[in-house]
Amino acid sequence: MLNRRCPAMLISAPASGQGKTTITAALAYYHRSQNRKVRVFKAGPDFIDPQILAYASADSVYQLDLWMMGEAHCRELLYHAASEADVILIEGVMGLYDGDSSSADLAQTFAAVAYGLANYRSHLAFAGVIANKVGSIGHAQLLQEALPASMTFLVAMAKDAGVGLPSRHLGLLQADEIVDLDLDLRLQRAAQLLTEYTPCRLPEPVVFSPVEIVQLPRLLAGKRIAVARDAAFSFIYQANLDCLRDLGAELLFFSPLADQILPEVDSIYLPGGYPELHLQTLANNKAMKQALSEHHMANKPIYAECGSFLYLLSRLVDKDGHAAEMAGLLQGSARMQSKLVNLGMHSLHLEHGESRGHSFHHSQLETDMAIFTMSIPQRSRGRAEGFYRDGSLQASYLHLYFPYNPQAAAGLFL
């Protein structure tokens, strides 16, 4: 295999809340409007931002995390993207060094922050600077002149409050929700703002070296897996779906909100999401709850993560105290909290070895169920999570990344 060359940028900032998603989405939308093939990635275990970025780029968005995924797999994804893309964009997570936010009102402060981020680690490949919320052409010139000659000024995005992306407790609203709030118009305007004061420049191409691609064993050949996917359950890695297909499974999608029956399948995959925002609809769909119960009683595999784990409990209470009966396949209840309950990367050991993933939730579980095993938080961050089993049903708060251990992933559906 040959090396691939492609312009690539990782968009980062001093901290969270600096507009990384808006800038990355605007760049994706702009370059797509210039008839360039754009591939976008999101650093870290995020489900919501990739929905916005996928809409902007008109293509699937994959995550990049060295611990959860492994370096070789990250390199494989980037190499594949470089073989088909005209530009690669990677949205960073939090701050570049997880630092505190700094004021950038003055040009000297802007340059100091940019220079500090670029030079804090000498081996960091620095592409250039993007200025966000720029007030005028003069402001853009002032910012550019303040930078050292060695630092390329790539883009100055003009200030416009109308392109901001609305959010809730777990982050931004989902892409389908913002579509109803004119997402396309917001991105179109954001793309225009990229060239209002200065040209939008691409960085120099990056060389992506080939990696060995291992063909997965067809452990799920002939298996049909029903995957929940709707407004209540949409937190799923595209790489997880790819992995299941590469293992030989056929995937069929259904909606616990709207559908009355399940597809004819061998197993069910219930990803995370926002069941607390759809309490009554989920409670009222008794036919779907019955279909899930019958599947479980037939001892067919069900795997549920986070939001779907809550959906399988007996009862769920939202942050306003409204309670509703859920599917009742697992004994217990959960209540939404005003503050974050757990956040962090986790390792989980099952029969087929280690799986890796993350936990991120605002609900508190109340149950007498026996815990099958416990997760191990990375570097002791966050709390351990319980992994539960009831016959062929397996569930927890964890969002697992299947390609880290495909054999373990296959075991969840056999």
Instruction: Domain ranges for the chain, please list them.
Output: 4-206, 224-411
Domains 4-206 and 224-411 belong to one CATH topology: yes
Higher pLDDT, 65 or 349: 349
Task: Give the integer Cα–Cα distance in Å for 76 and 239.
Answer: 12
Whether 306 is catalytic = yes
Q: What is the DSSP string of 347-383?
A: EEEETTEEEEEEEEE-EEEE--PPPSEE-EEGGG-S-
pTM of the model: 0.81
Higher pLDDT, 180 or 258: 258
- Asked if 387 and 371 count as a contact pair (C-beta separation under 8 A), the reply is yes
Write out pLDDT tens, residues 130-147. 888 888 888 888 888 888
Active-site hit among 6, 74, 243, 306: 306
CA dihedral 248, 249, 251, 252 (to 10 degrees): 130
At residue 158 the predicted structure's pLDDT band, cuts being 50, 70 and 90, is confident
pLDDT at site 11: 84
At residue 317 the predicted structure's pLDDT band, cuts being 50, 70 and 90, is very high
Class of domain 4-206: alpha beta
Place of tokens 């087929």: 352
Write out pLDDT tens, residues 42-70. 988 888 888 989 999 999 999 988 889 98
At residue 106 the predicted structure's pLDDT band, cuts being 50, 70 and 90, is very low
Q: What is the CATH number of domain 224-411?
A: 3.40.50.880
